[in-house]
A = this chain, B = another copy of it.
Amino acid sequence: MKKITSLGYDVVFEDDLNELQSFLIDHDYSQLLILVDRNTNDHCLPVLQASIPDILDYDIIEVDPGEENKNIDFCIGVWKTMLDFGADRKALMLNLGGGVVTDMGGFAAATYKRGIDFINVPTTLLSQVDASVGGKTGIDLDNVKNIIGTFTQPQAVFISTVFLKTLDDRQIRSGFAEIIKHGLIQDKDLYNKCRSLTLPVVPNEIVYESVQIKNKVITEDPTEKGLRKILNFGHTIGHAIEGYSLVNDQSPLLHGEAIAIGMICEAYLSHRVNNLDDTELEDIVQYLKAVYPAYSIDPSIYPVLVDLMRNDKKNENNQLGFALLRSIGDCDYNKYVDEDLIIESLDYYRNLTK
């Protein structure tokens, strides 16, 4: 068992759920509300239930899985169910699931009766490495991602390898994109370790190192005034592609798949305007191409993508700000890039995948 201390709470890494059980025994909550989606209800809840102390009453709230359901309508449903269950201010919300469940459950808890406690038990690789630290809660509105939310820290996060066994190869690869990103922006060693792995096996040590990097960044800049923006590498373009795919594709891209595309485009931008050298660009691009499937982007949708980028909540004064690599393991932020160059980077990706 290992721990990382984040902003006032612990992120616990374990191979079972013993620490989670101790937490529930040690705290005096009036009741427990467990938020799940259909998948975690079937595959993860049975594992969790064995760890809930007998003394604690609990109720289950289920939402539909998938980013397209991380919206205000489902959130209203969660709030109403909390009311129906008579949850008072001393209730604890336990979010059991991927980023959709932890983001929405965190937001519902942070705003119910002006805030009740919550803990996160992320069950996907993506949510373990991405949503476990940082205190971001949120939901989408009109397909704009996480546009409504708060910065609210959970009481604790429990990362257990028992849940990774429930994931398929595609989900593992999606989460792995964020680990690659953490290597690219802060730690060349981690990037090289990623490169030498044979997926879909991801050792707990790599998850731990990845969360450590993210935690270091967000504790230095909890509310994203500066440094924390480097975590957006690959996300300005990646989020736009993800948003487009969600609405237009029958089988939409997973988050990490879209971010992998975003990282290719933004590595290209890093090369063009931030001195990332040829060799490193080539290394990154070939690696990401090998791990993630090609996605077809027609030039006719470029304006839609650029509009989606402009709506990104990270922009200020209508300028498109990017996190761009200087080299592998070193990243700058607040790099403003003209629309022409963004188009050029999308063309670069298109040509790679032709």
* Contact call B141/A311, Cβ cutoff below 8 A: no
* Contact call A83/B151, Cβ cutoff below 8 A: no
List the B residue with the shortest CB-CB distance to A316.
Answer: B88
* Contact call A80/B141, Cβ cutoff below 8 A: yes
A116 to B88 alpha-carbon distance, docked (Å): 28
From B110, B148, B150, give the contact of A79 (CB < 8 A).
B148
Is residue A329 contacting chain B, with contact meaning CB distance below 8 A?
no
* Contact call A316/B30, Cβ cutoff below 8 A: yes
List the B residue with the shortest CB-CB distance to A137.
Answer: B114
* Contact call A83/B315, Cβ cutoff below 8 A: no
Is residue A22 contacting chain B, with contact meaning CB distance below 8 A?
no
Q: Which residues of B contact A310 (CB under 8 A)?
A: 86
Within 8 A of B (CB), among A66-84: 72, 76, 79-80, 83
- Tally chain A residues at the interface, Cβ within 8 Å: 37
Q: A112-B148, A115-B151 are in contact. Are A142 and B83 (CB under 8 A)?
A: yes
Is residue A90 contacting chain B, with contact meaning CB distance below 8 A?
yes
A85 to chain B, nearest CB (A): 12
* Contact call A136/B114, Cβ cutoff below 8 A: yes
* Contact call B76/A72, Cβ cutoff below 8 A: yes
* Contact call B76/A141, Cβ cutoff below 8 A: yes
A353 to chain B, nearest CB (A): 32
A149 to B107 alpha-carbon distance, docked (Å): 11
Q: A76-B141, A80-B141, A142-B80 are in contact. Are A313 and B88 (CB under 8 A)?
A: yes
A149 to B114 alpha-carbon distance, docked (Å): 5
Q: Mark A107-121, 1 if CB is under 8 A from B, else 0.
A: 100111111000000
Q: Which residues of B contact A318 (CB under 8 A)?
A: 86, 88
List the B residue with the shortest CB-CB distance to A82.
Answer: B147
Is residue A89 contacting chain B, with contact meaning CB distance below 8 A?
yes
From B110, B146, B313, give the contact of A89 (CB < 8 A).
B313
Other A-B contacts than A80-B142, A112-B148, 19 sampled, CB-CB below 8 A, are A30-B317, A79-B147, A83-B141, A83-B142, A83-B144, A83-B311, A86-B311, A88-B313, A88-B315, A88-B316, A89-B316, A90-B316, A110-B150, A111-B111, A111-B149, A111-B150, A113-B313, A114-B149, A114-B151
What are 20 A-B contacts with C-beta separation under 8 Å? A30-B317, A72-B72, A79-B141, A79-B147, A83-B142, A83-B147, A83-B311, A86-B318, A88-B313, A88-B317, A88-B318, A89-B314, A107-B111, A111-B148, A111-B150, A112-B147, A113-B147, A114-B146, A114-B149, A115-B150
